[in-house]
């Protein structure tokens, strides 16, 4: 007797197919838009497929937006920010989660409280501080604050540290570890998934950041990628198809980082729990 | 204990060193007899390239001046500039959007250059100088490029509908009559046809939105407006404005013009005309670059007349302004740059090549080079002729704020959520409040 295809499986497939389409169609539309001419891009109702296919949009945007040198700057900023956030925030979070000192919880509430202040409010005071420190028109203001701890990162890491059973800490103490060694050798390796999440968040945030680079950078040699892409916008005319092509190119590093970090998400879930 | 003391000493020392380095980095910008002029301007890749070429030529003919630039796309540039002004290190001279000049002036960011303008700028030679004069007679900037509004029309759509092109004699009612013939539903019936389906419009007759491209021009042609000549009082509550607003609301109801929600469907307001989905639109000279890029078959006509024969074209004189805090030497250098910009044929022609603005030097604006018949629109002279009846769009220190009140309320009106009378009274009060909040606290 022929085996019947289960109905619930069919619905499952249909559901997955529909969700895939919802995700994939906008992405494909973006890819197609990046290959259109300005004239075709402006058509309404829009045509889906590019005709003619203008691959040269990519080489044009690469040159016009000065991708090669801006990418280097963006990588410097993003990598330094990720390293800074992971180190400083996890260290602070460890103190909040595991060490005992006066006003610990009050201080933690204050740190969380700073998340309520909109970034835009502190822009001018920060600008003046960096100006007085002589750091304007350099990449430093774009990553240095990440080395001083980020409230959201501290919160995330503290939660991760809190979830680790006390037994690990005590065992490490018995073996003669000091608090730094407990943090570095025991807690950090156990929180790789949280660290990977944080790394991806920070990288994405910094990679796409626009306001700070616009405000702090003056010379072109320091510009980051988002400024390069946005510099294609004109006051009166913008070649949107080039903007889209630029945005797609700048997506590649984020994909790479994500694929790299994904390994740790899986690894993390495997090694959690007491043995 | 000792260790922590050591750390704090190192910390304080490095902070002190950093502050010292910071102090030192504000080094003198003057080397020898050379003055370093710090200049800001908005740009995209083509305008940036052109500006760099012009600056290089200026430096050649003015060897005692070295120009350092800061540039960014339009919005980012003003974001950066605002921070720089607040922190006290804004450029010595910058290119200001025409709608922002009085805002900078009334907030004390730029220098009153009345003296320089009256002595050094020849108003018979330079276009639009008067547009930077405030109600008290002070000049705050010198035009860098001029934008004038006109009626843009899609020739193909006119030809297809068999409607005659707009002429200089058109009134706004003539425009509406033509718009009705050019508004088509999905089955191709126009808005004059009793069977016209309002719910399935696929081509509009006329589009307007925003400030220089919007309702303001129609109100002005009807004898109304937004602000009085002192720019501190709302004049919205007037019978002329009411008539103008009724004219607009009627067109929206008949679906001859796309309403704000319908405009949104196009992603960008500009896309309606660029994609050939509307036959006419008010726009400024700069729009020609994107229209040419989209390969449109279009031309321009003067803005239509109001019921009493009054005509109005919006003008935005993007201008060079000088930082109020600039040192005297830099002010002089900045003025030399402005003089070069407004008098040099070479600079003016180079800039005109970008196609973004009408050259400010009259002789260049009237030259074959600018009126070049091989580049659309054919009737470029309309822009120059329109200057005769052009005016600013009531720009003052709170331009962006009052414009928001006007456009937000217009959107309500056009979406049929407000009556014309409510619109007039609410907008009048709203605009007056914005004005009072700023000017009465001064």
Domains of chain A (ranges; CATH) run 7-56 (no CATH), 67-271 (1.10.3720.10)
d(CA B276, CA A70): 37
CB A38 within 8 A of CB A241: yes
What pLDDT does A266 receive? 62
Residue B4 has pLDDT above 70, yes or no: no
Q: Which of B230, B152, B218 is nearest to B406 (CA)?
A: B218
User: Across the interface, which of A211, A214, A234 has its CB nearest the CB of B44?
Assistant: A234
Asked if the Cβ–Cβ distance from B286 to A237 is below 8 Å, we say yes
Residues B112-132 have a mean pLDDT of: 95
Q: Does A234 touch chain B (CB under 8 A)?
A: yes
Tell me the percentage of chain A whose pLDDT exceeds 70: 95
Six-digit token pair at B339? Answer: 């003089």
CB–CB contact B79 A39 (8 Å):
no
B25-81: pLDDT as tens digits: 333 444 557 999 999 999 988 899 999 999 999 999 999 999 999 998 898 899 899
**B122: pLDDT strictly greater than 90:** yes
Per-residue confidence (pLDDT) for residue B182, from 0 to 100? 97
pLDDT recorded at residue B44:
87
Q: List all residues 6 or more positions away from A69 whose beta carbon is below 8 Å from its beta carbon.
A: A221, A223
Determine how many CB atoms are found less than 10 A away from the CB of residue A27: 11
Contact B153, B280 (CB under 8 A): yes
Higher per-residue confidence, B56 vs B4: B56
* Cα–Cα distance, B48 to B71 (Å, whole number): 8
CATH superfamily of B35-146+316-386: Periplasmic binding protein-like II (3.40.190.10)
Confidence band for A39, pLDDT divided at 50, 70 and 90: confident
Within an 8 Å CB–CB cutoff, is residue B70 touching chain A?
A: yes
CB B389 within 8 A of CB B430: no
pLDDT band at A119 (very low <50, low <70, confident <90, very high): confident
The yes-or-no verdict on residue B218 having pLDDT over 90 is: yes
Of A124-128, A247-251, B22-26, B143-147, give the range with the top mean pLDDT. B143-147
**Distance from first CA to last CA of chain B, Å, rounded?**
56
State whether B293 and A210 contact (CB < 8 Å).
Answer: no
pLDDT at A3: 66
User: What pLDDT is recorded for position B102?
Assistant: 94
Inter-chain contact B72–A134, Cβ cutoff 8 Å?
Answer: no
Average pLDDT, chain B: 91
Question: ∠B323-B326-B330 over CA atoms, to 5°?
Answer: 115
The fraction of chain B above a pLDDT of 70, given in percent, is 93
Q: At residue B116, does pLDDT exceed 80? A: yes
Element housing B159 (H / E): helix B155-161
Cβ pairs bridging A and B (under 8 Å): 100
Q: What is the mean pLDDT of residues A28-42?
A: 92
Mean pLDDT over residues A176-189, rounded?
Answer: 93
The angle that helices B420-439 and B239-253 make with each other, rounded to 10 degrees, is: 130
The encoded tokens of residue B148 equal 């004038």
Residues B131-179 have pLDDT tens digits of 999 989 999 999 999 999 999 999 999 999 999 999 999 999 999 999 9
Exposure on the CB side of residue A242, measured as CA atoms within 13 A: 24
Residue B388 to residue B386: CA distance in whole angstroms: 5
pLDDT category at B21 given cuts 50, 70, 90 is: very low
DSSP H/E element including B428: helix B420-439
The whole-number pLDDT of residue B32 equals 59
Q: For residue A143, what are the CA distances in angstroms to A77, A87, A206, A249?
A: 6, 13, 8, 23
Q: Is the four-CA dihedral A177, A178, A179, A180 of positive or negative sign?
A: negative
Q: Which chain B residues are Cβ-neighbours of A128 within 8 angstroms?
A: 86-87
Residue scoring higher pLDDT (A237 or B301): B301
pLDDT value at residue B17:
45
Nearest one of B263, B434, B440 to B426, comparing CA atoms? B434
Any idea where the domains of chain B sit in the sequence? Answer: 35-146+316-386, 149-315+393-439
Do the Cβ atoms of B79 and A235 come within 8 Å? Answer: no
Q: Is some CB atom of chain B closer than 8 A to the CB atom of A218?
A: yes
Quick check: A214 contacting B, CB < 8 Å? yes
Are A232 and B44 inside 8 Å of each other by CB?
A: yes
Percent of chain B with pLDDT over 90: 84
Residue A241 reports pLDDT greater than 70: yes
Q: What is the pLDDT of residue B180?
A: 97
Q: Which of B39, B52, B76 to mutate to test the interface with A (most CBs of A within 10 A)?
A: B76
| B297 touches A at CB < 8 Å | no
Residue indicated by tokens 């003391």: B5
Q: Tokens 């089955």 sit at which residue?
A: B187
In the predicted model, what is the mean pLDDT of residues B380-389? Answer: 95
Q: Which residues, 6 or more positions from B217, have their beta carbon under 8 angstroms from its beta carbon?
A: B149, B208, B282, B303, B312, B313, B314
Which of A127, A133, A136 has the CB atom closest to B19's CB atom?
Answer: A133
CATH class of residue range B149-315+393-439: alpha beta
For residue B389, the tally of other CB atoms under 10 A from its CB is: 17
pLDDT of A129 over the 50 cut: yes
Q: What do you get for the CA distance between the two ends of chain A, in Å? A: 48
CA distance B130 to B315: 11
pLDDT (0 to 100) of residue B46:
86
Tokens of A207: 């990679």
The answer to whether residue B230 scores a pLDDT higher than 80 is yes
* CA of A200 vs chain B CAs: smallest distance (Å): 26
Least confident of A87-96, A155-164, B21-30, B302-311: B21-30
Tokens coding A84: 């800074």
DSSP state at residue B31: B
pLDDT, mean of residues B403-428: 96
Q: Which residue has the higher pLDDT, A1 or A9?
A: A9
Check pLDDT > 90 for residue A76: yes
Least confident of B112-116, B204-208, B279-283, B437-441: B437-441
A255 contact partners, CB below 8 Å, separation of at least 6: none
Averaged pLDDT for residues B221-241: 95
Answer yes or no: same fold for B35-146+316-386 and B149-315+393-439: yes
Residue B85 · residue B106 · CB < 8 Å:
no
Q: Share the mean pLDDT of chain A.
A: 89
Touching B: A residues 155-184, CB under 8 Å: none
For chain A, give the percent of residues with pLDDT over 90: 62
Residue B14 clears pLDDT 80, i.e. is over it:
no
Which pLDDT score, from 0 to 100, does residue A209 have?
92
Please tell me the distance from the alpha carbon of residue A1 to that of residue A5, in angstroms, as a whole number.
12
Flag if B45 and A64 touch (Cβ within 8 Å).
Answer: yes
To the nearest whole Å, the CA of B19 is away from the closest chain A CA by 5
Q: Angle A240-271/A192-208 helices, nearest 10 degrees?
A: 170
Give just the sign of the alpha carbon dihedral B59, B61, B65, B71.
negative
């Amino acid at each position: 007797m022929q085996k019947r295809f289960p109905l619930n499986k069919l619905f499952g497939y249909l559901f997955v197919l529909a969700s895939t389409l919802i995700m994939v169609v906008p992405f494909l539309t973006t890819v197609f838009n990046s290959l259109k001419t300005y004239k075709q891009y402006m058509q309404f109702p829009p045509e889906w497929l590019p005709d003619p296919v203008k691959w040269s949009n990519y080489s044009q945007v690469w040159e016009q937006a000065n991708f090669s040198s801006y990418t280097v700057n963006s990588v410097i900023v993003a990598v330094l920010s990720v390293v800074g956030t992971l180190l400083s925030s996890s260290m602070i979070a460890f103190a909040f989660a595991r060490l005992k000192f006066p006003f610990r919880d009050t201080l933690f509430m204050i740190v969380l409280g700073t998340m309520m202040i909109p970034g835009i409010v502190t822009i001018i005071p920060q600008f003046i501080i960096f100006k007085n420190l002589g750091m304007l028109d350099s990449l430093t203001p774009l990553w240095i604050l990440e080395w001083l701890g980020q409230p959201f990162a501290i919160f995330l890491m503290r939660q991760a540290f809190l979830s680790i059973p006390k037994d690990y800490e005590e065992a490490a103490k018995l073996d003669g570890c000091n608090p730094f060694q407990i943090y570095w050798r025991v807690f950090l390796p156990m929180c790789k998934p949280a660290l990977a999440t944080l790394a991806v968040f920070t990288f994405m945030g910094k990679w796409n950041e626009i306001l700070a680079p616009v405000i702090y950078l003056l010379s072109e040699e320091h510009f980051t990628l988002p400024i390069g892409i946005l510099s294609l916008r004109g006051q009166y005319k913008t070649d949107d198809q080039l903007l889209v092509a630029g945005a797609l190119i700048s997506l590649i590093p984020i994909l790479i980082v994500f694929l790299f970090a994904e390994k740790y998400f899986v690894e993390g879930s495997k090694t959690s729990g007491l043995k | 204990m000792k260790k922590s003391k050591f750390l704090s000493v190192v910390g304080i020392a490095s902070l002190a060193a950093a502050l010292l380095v910071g102090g030192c980095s504000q080094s003198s910008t003057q080397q020898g007899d050379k003055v370093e002029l710090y200049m800001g301007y908005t740009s995209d890749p083509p305008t940036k390239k052109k500006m760099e070429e012009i600056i290089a030529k200026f430096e050649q003919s003015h060897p005692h001046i070295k120009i350092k630039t800061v540039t960014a796309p339009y919005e980012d540039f003003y974001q950066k500039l605002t921070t720089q002004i607040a922190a006290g290190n804004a450029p010595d001279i910058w290119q200001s959007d025409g709608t922002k000049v009085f805002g900078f002036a009334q907030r004390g960011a730029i220098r009153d250059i009345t003296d320089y303008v009256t002595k050094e700028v020849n108003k018979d030679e330079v276009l639009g100088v008067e547009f930077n004069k405030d109600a008290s007679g002070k000049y705050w900037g010198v035009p860098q490029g001029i934008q004038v509004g006109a009626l843009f029309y899609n020739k193909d759509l006119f030809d297809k509908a068999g409607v005659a092109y707009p002429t200089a004699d058109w009134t706004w009612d003539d425009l509406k009559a033509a718009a009705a013939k050019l508004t088509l539903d999905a089955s191709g019936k126009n808005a004059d046809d009793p069977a016209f389906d309002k719910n399935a419009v696929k081509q509009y007759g006329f589009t307007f939105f925003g400030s220089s491209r919007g309702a303001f021009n129609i109100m002005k042609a009807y004898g109304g407006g937004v602000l009085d000549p002192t720019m501190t009082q709302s004049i919205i509550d007037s019978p002329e404005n009411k008539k103008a607003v009724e004219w607009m609301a009627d067109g929206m109801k008949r679906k001859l013009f796309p309403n704000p929600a319908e405009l949104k469907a196009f992603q960008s307001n500009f896309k309606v005309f660029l994609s050939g989905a509307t036959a006419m639109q008010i726009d400024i000279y700069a729009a020609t670059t994107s229209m040419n890029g989209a390969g449109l078959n279009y031309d321009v006509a003067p803005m239509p007349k109001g019921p009493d024969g009054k005509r109005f074209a919006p003008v935005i004189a993007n201008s060079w302004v000088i930082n109020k805090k600039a040192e005297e030497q830099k002010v002089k250098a900045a003025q030399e740059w402005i003089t070069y910009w407004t008098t040099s044929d070479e600079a003016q022609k180079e800039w005109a090549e970008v196609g973004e603005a009408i050259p400010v030097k009259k002789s260049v604006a009237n030259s074959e080079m600018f009126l070049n018949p091989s580049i659309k629109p054919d009737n470029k002279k309309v822009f120059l002729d329109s200057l005769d009846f052009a005016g600013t769009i009531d720009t003052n220190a709170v331009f962006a704020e009052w414009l928001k009140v006007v456009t937000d309320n217009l959107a309500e009106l056009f979406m049929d959520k407000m009556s014309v009378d409510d619109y007039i009274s609410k907008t009048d009060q709203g605009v007056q409040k914005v004005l009072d909040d700023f000017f009465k606290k001064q």
